């Protein structure tokens, strides 16, 4: 944050009591809206451990994770999360993730972002191909 990398967020991934990865917000410096501290730390931990599942690790973060980071935490199968500031604390600084939390609770047809369902049959064919793929790595 002090170097101008991004917002006031940081995170570490810990395995067996040792920090194995660090992440900080790089949204503005990387021009990447997904470069949140938690995501950056998870990416680094997975690179170091050479695996996409890190259930034997914990995440320590400076703020309650936003919906995107929370989803990444679930996908990484992290064992536990520790956080300092709340999402309401972040909202007071204009980091208002509550909008996303509210939108996710709404039916798709009532969300601000227009979403249209199309080409399901064609898309299902790819899913069926995946189901039959003998050498897939399940996650």
> Could you list the active site residues?
38
Coil vs helix vs strand at 91 = helix
Nearest to 50 by CA among 20, 17, 70: 20
Length of the chain: 139
How many Å apart are CA 45 and CA 21, to the nearest integer? 5
Return the axis-axis angle of helices 67-76 and 98-105, rounded to nearest 10°: 70
> What's the DSSP call for residue 113?
S
How many Å apart are CA 130 and CA 139, to the nearest integer? 12
């Amino acid at each position: 944050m002090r170097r101008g990398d991004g917002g006031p967020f940081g995170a570490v991934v810990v395995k067996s009591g040792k920090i194995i990865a660090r992440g900080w917000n790089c949204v503005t410096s990387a021009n990447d809206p997904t470069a949140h501290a938690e995501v950056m730390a998870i990416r680094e931990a997975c690179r170091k451990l050479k695996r996409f599942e890190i259930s034997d690790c914990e995440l320590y973060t400076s703020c309650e994770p936003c919906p995107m980071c929370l989803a990444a935490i679930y996908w990484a199968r992290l064992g536990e999360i520790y956080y300092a500031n709340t999402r309401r604390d972040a909202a007071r600084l204009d980091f208002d993730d509550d909008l996303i939390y509210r939108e996710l609770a709404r039916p798709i047809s009532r969300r601000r972002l227009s979403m249209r369902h199309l080409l399901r049959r064609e898309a299902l064919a790819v899913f069926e191909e995946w189901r039959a793929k003998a050498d897939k790595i399940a996650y």
